[in-house]
A and B are shown apart, each in its own frame.
Chain A
């Protein structure tokens, strides 16, 4: 059961990464807040020798408070916001046979994974795609587009849902929600502080003559602080993308483990790729959650340094090849002659 070992390794890895991200962000917020204070303190100290006017770390405390509140709110509300931003509607009482099939398939996969049944959402969008979100297995939501329902058959739908169940079981949904909420906080904070800096002349002024080394230190700290403030949104987004890309291969493998049918996922991915239509509902905020990149960015088609940095998804051709390899192994193990 190598797949089982992989699964627990992945869960443990996700837990570790969750903690690592939290620590990293706390340090980052501390720097964002108290770094500014440090610059101000040094600047103040350079002007007034002996008696320092700036003692209380206002920026640090304000930033920490805002960050904590915003992060908590978006951690609790994040999954709903993502669903809302894509215009997903919950499928509580399925009407058509197609909708019943979807709910049935989700129930089947929840049983296969031994997890509670996630909520099912449908997005009215031509582009075939699907994503999972939530904080853990009991709050998980799985959303699919009507375009997906239109192009795949039951087996392939099952494979796609199994892939999403894989994200739920591997705790990818938790990590992604956490990262999304933290990245959101950083973007908000850095925008807000940038505006404050431009608006207020509160860095200038002050009495007394500035003296050499302390002022230089203040300037260095301030410049560093400003650079992180400007780059923070980009860096945090790139990091979030890297985390999401890694997980697609493993969710493919987990999905194949749940259905024992890797071939179906391969053909579902092929259909998703060929039926690609411009998406009108899935925006950048939800793109990294999807089974295939909804924005159709070229960078996701390549492997390499730049793609490694910017792509949210591994190249589709690679994923399909790997799944077909699994299907071939399965046939060989069953002692049958692989056909077609």
Chain B
């Protein structure tokens, strides 16, 4: 009788270990995948920027500094690509800030704004900005879920077995980036 009870308890524990382990692995993969989604969008942004710079260069002779800031930030961001979450976040944050400034400056050039090509590029870039932001939001949510799970009792007992490590969140550090001016690209005048 005693041995049967022991066996049942052992089986229950084994089942629990397996399911907790699998749960952690699945969360870990989700986190990795969410990070890859950010990466895709970052690459897209890096590819788009030379286009934008070339298109606006001619009309914006006087804004060399702003343009140069974008180009520099882009190369720094690309160089930080292989690094950790912190470096990537910092470099990409700089790039977001530089781009935001460029968009604001571009508002002062009516002929630029009315060019179909520039408007298309601007929509594409600001959409990519949004996609980065949303991919980051998803990553942070998924990573938080993963972190919580591996720290909580009793899942933390199998965290070592699943080689679970705390995933770094993508924090927005400086205030300037948090307040990137919103670029309203809608064709309509805001109503109300």
Query: Would you mind naming 23 contact pairs between A and B with Cβ atoms under 8 Å apart?
Result: A1-B144, A97-B123, A98-B187, A100-B120, A100-B123, A101-B185, A104-B124, A107-B131, A111-B37, A111-B41, A111-B134, A112-B134, A112-B137, A114-B138, A114-B142, A150-B188, A151-B188, A153-B184, A153-B188, A153-B190, A153-B191, A258-B134, A260-B137
A154 CB-CB contact with B under 8 Å: yes
Do residues B137 and A104 form an inter-chain contact, with CB atoms below 8 A?
no
**Cα distance A186–B187 in the bound complex, in angstroms:** 46
A151 contacts which chain B residues (CB < 8 A)? 188, 191
Q: What is the interface of chain A mostly: helix, strand, loop, or mixed? A: helix
B186 CB-CB contact with A under 8 Å: yes
B24 CB-CB contact with A under 8 Å: no
B119 contacts which chain A residues (CB < 8 A)? 97
B51 contacts which chain A residues (CB < 8 A)? none
Q: Mark A90-116, 1 if CB is under 8 A from B, else 0.
A: 000000011011001101110111100
A271 contacts which chain B residues (CB < 8 A)? 191
Number of interface residues of B (CB under 8 A): 27
B186 contacts which chain A residues (CB < 8 A)? 101, 153-154
Q: What is the interface of chain B mostly: helix, strand, loop, or mixed? A: helix
**Cα distance A214–B134 in the bound complex, in angstroms:** 69
Residue in contact with B34 in the complex, picked from A101, A114, A258, A260, CB distance below 8 Å: A114
Q: Mark B134-166, 1 if CB is under 8 A from A, else 0.
A: 110110011011000000000000000000000
Number of interface residues of A (CB under 8 A): 24
Residue of B nearest to A270 (CB): B192
- Chain B interface residues toward A at CB < 8 A: 34, 37, 41, 116, 119-120, 123-124, 127, 130-131, 134-135, 137-138, 141-142, 144-145, 184-188, 190-192
Known: A112-B138, A114-B34, A260-B137. A107 touches B127 (CB 8 A): yes
A112 contacts which chain B residues (CB < 8 A)? 134-135, 137-138
- Chain A interface residues toward B at CB < 8 A: 1, 4, 97-98, 100-101, 104-105, 107-109, 111-114, 150-151, 153-154, 158, 258, 260, 267, 271
